[in-house]
Amino acid sequence: MQTEPTIVDTPLTIAGKTFNSRLILGTGKYRNTEEMQAAIEASGCEMITVALRRIDFDDPKSRSILEDIDWSRYHILPNTAGCATAEEAIRVARLARSMGLSDWIKLEVIPDPKYLLPDPVGTLEAARVLVDEGFVVLPYINADPVLAKRLEEIGTATVMPLGSPIGSGQGLPDFRQIQIIIEQANVPVIVDAGIGAPSDAALAMELGADACLINTAIAQAKNPAGMARAMRLGIEAGRLAYLSGRIPKKPYASASSPLEGVVR
């Protein structure tokens, strides 16, 4: 008897690099290093993002986050969290590359500290400069299909729309614009903020997203390693459901047990 579904997935490919895991982890807000390491391990992730502004490039001793992770096992994705303008983000990205860290950059241009929503114009400006300089740019954006298309056109490696504000755990309360982004994209679409539980991650993948980036929902869970594994399963579930072809939503019921039987 057949014991496994015959569905074969292709790996996620970003800028020519392939990943078997479709879950990307952040490194902020863990209560301690042990919890972070256990969560990373349990998540099965292959790419981890690190805020460049938390690294003191002048003082090697302070580079704790870089030393806490075994970078031979994980692809590092530096990010520009904390940069309020295109200029800041560009400068930080260049510095990271010049230090030999990476030429990949998760681009965040976030002027507003309360809702942490990204600046569409500043993001596009910074992306243009960084793409021109040879960076592999993964921009964090509001769920704006026209902006996503423009970023793709200038050569970003992905687009990373938010599900809801960073750290809010609200999931994807309205996913229609994310659906449009997915429908129109020729680069991977990574849902990047707001995921609070595996059901949110599964939903993003069922819609056809290529990956999810998750930080707060794992780091701040009561049991980060447990939640990391739960997110891994949720993403696998959603991806497999996407490939398996879900039933349409119907306004009416539809009997699961058609009654051709004879017992009356």
Closest distance between its own copies and the C-beta of residue 157, in Å?
A: 20
Establish whether 215 is an annotated binding residue: yes
Amino acid at site 21:
S
Could you confirm whether 106 is annotated as catalytic? yes
259 binds its own copies (CB under 8 A): yes
Question: Would you say 193 is a known binding-site residue?
Answer: yes
Q: Check residue 6 for interaction with its own copies (CB under 8 A).
A: yes
Q: At what angle do helices 224-244 and 198-206 cross, to 10 degrees?
A: 20
String marking each residue 175-214 x if it binds its own copies according to CB under 8 A: -xx--x------------x--xxxxx-xx--x--------
Q: Does 153 bind its own copies (CB under 8 A)?
A: no
103 and 136 in contact (C-beta within 8 Å)? yes
List 106, 222, 249, 250, catalytic entry = 106
Token pair, residue 254, equals: 């539809």
From the number of C-beta atoms within 10 Å of its C-beta (0-12, 13-18, 19+), residue 60 rates as exposed
Smallest gap, in angstroms, from Cβ of residue 48 to its own copies?
12
Per the annotation, does 223 bind a ligand? no
CB of 16 to its own copies, least distance (A): 27
Query: Is residue 225 part of an annotated ligand binding site?
Result: no
Q: How far is the CB of 185 from its own copies (least distance, A)?
A: 13
Check binding of 57 to its own copies (CB under 8 A): yes
Q: How many residues bind its own copies (CB under 8 A)?
A: 116
Among positions 51, 130, 185, 190, the unique one binding its own copies when judged by CB under 8 A: 51
Of residues 211-250, those binding its own copies (CB under 8 A): 215-217, 219-234, 236-238, 240-241, 243-250
Tell whether residue 245 is among the known ligand binding residues.
no
- The answer to whether the CB of 133 falls within 8 A of the CB of 154 is no
CA terminus-to-terminus distance, the chain = 35
Asked if residue 101 binds its own copies (CB under 8 A), the reply is: no
Which amino acid makes up residue 259? L
Q: Give binding residues for 1-deoxy-D-xylulose 5-phosphate as ranges.
A: 167, 193-194, 215-216
**Active site amino acids:** 106
